[in-house]
Structure 1
Amino acid sequence: MKNINILLADDDDDDRLFFGEALEQLELNISLNWVVNGVDLINYLKQPDTQLPELLFLDLNMPLKGGIECLIEIRKTNYLRNLSVAIYSTSSAEKDIEECLIHGANIYIKKPSDFNVLKSILHKAITINHQYHSSGLSKENFLMVI
């Protein structure tokens, strides 16, 4: 089975730990890398030797450069524009969801507090075909709910 390269951009230590533990329990061949702010994310993605992830989980509220700013920069950069981006945020505000949809995120996930729900949602997000999924995006199928 092909190794799935996942990148998590999140400044919260507990959220990164929770996320990593959930991934470990999925029966998928996953390689996880993480960064703690938006500046580190963009620098990481722009390194010439970086293997781009199959899926980026992007927190909205990070220091130095927020998730929306990162998403806009990713979509404006030729070799990053097709990167699959899952917004992974505590926010369920309509304005945040709409802004992420407008700026080209593939999916929006509200961070669950329940570990089993997190595992379920991560499995679904990782195994979905994002290129197909993004072709018919609407607000109804953009927000991932388990």
Structure 2
Amino acid sequence: MDPEKLYILLAEDDQDDRRFFKKVFDSLKINHSLSMCEDGPELMAYLDDSHILPHIIFLDINMPGKSGMECLREIRSDSRLRDTTVAMYSSLSSPAAVEEAFIAGANIFIRKPNDFDDLKKILCDVMYMNWQYVTDGLNRENYMINYYTS
């Protein structure tokens, strides 16, 4: 494990969304390793088998096999993964979905933007965020508002 590298994991079933995310992330010029899973079961198998845990997981809510919410609950119940930063990354942004993810332990909720520059700004902000501070002071005000695109 390279201590200078940021390990990112994206769980997203839509191939176009995965490509878009990768393209935007690569444009940030951050020393990183990006791994991707296509569904919930693949994500959980990856996390179970991985010797290098990600620094942050971007987790889509609507995935086949096992939803993002189910995965989030499993991640938070696993002592090895419990402190991993999880960003819910979804086109679904109803108040009920946002609240459910907050209660289940997501660190942040990001509604998927369709614009390259919007996603670039969001990812840049998220990557440079001091997660220790955010995790210690997690509340609804710093959970979604600052990273929610309209």
Match of 1:4 in 2: 6
| Number of equivalenced pairs | 145
Deviation at 1:92, TM superposition (A): 1.4
Q: Distance in 1 between matches of 2:57 and 2:16?
A: 18
Q: Counterparts of 2:69 and 2:54 in 1: how far apart (Å)?
A: 18
Over the aligned positions, Cα root-mean-square deviation in angstroms equals 1.2
- The aligned residue for residue 97 of structure 2 is 96
Q: Deviations over 1:96-135 (max 9, x none)?
A: 1001110110100000011000011011111112222021
- Structure-2 residue corresponding to 1:114: 115
Find the counterpart in structure 2 of residue 18 from structure 1: 20
Q: What is residue 73 of structure 2 aligned with on the other side?
A: 72
- Counterpart contact for 2:109–2:148, Cα < 8 Å: no
**C-alpha offsets along residues 8-57 of structure 1, whole Å, 9 cap, x if unaligned?**
0000001000000001100211110000000010110011x431001000
Gap regions ≥5 residues in structure 1: none
What is the DSSP-based 3-state SS (H/G/I as helix, E as strand, rest coil) of the residue aligned with 1:42?
A: helix
**Aligned pair partner of 1:28 in 2, 5, 30:** 30
Does the CA contact (< 8 Å) of 1:10 and 1:59 recur in 2? yes
Q: Aligned to 1:137, what secondary structure does the other structure show? A: coil
Contact kept, 8 Å, 2:24 with 2:120, in 1: the verdict is yes
Q: Residue 110 of structure 1 aligns to which amino acid in structure 2?
A: R
Shift of 1:136: 1.3
* Deviation larger for 120-129 or 9-18: 120-129
Mapped to 1, the partners of 2:83 and 2:92 lie a distance apart of 24
Deviates more, 1:13-22 or 1:133-142: 133-142
Aligned residues of 1:44 and 1:50 also touching (Cα < 8 A)? no
Determine the C-alpha separation between the residues in 2 that align with 1:142 and 1:62: 22
Give the AA of the match of 2:66: K
Find the aligned partners of 1:22 and 1:126 in 2 and give their Cα distance. Answer: 13
**Mapped partners of 1:97, 1:125: distance in 2:** 17
Task: Work out the CA distance in 2 between the residues paired with 1:83 and 1:117.
Answer: 25
* Cα separation, 2, equivalents of 1:138 and 1:57: 19
Normalising by structure 2, report the TM-score. Answer: 0.93
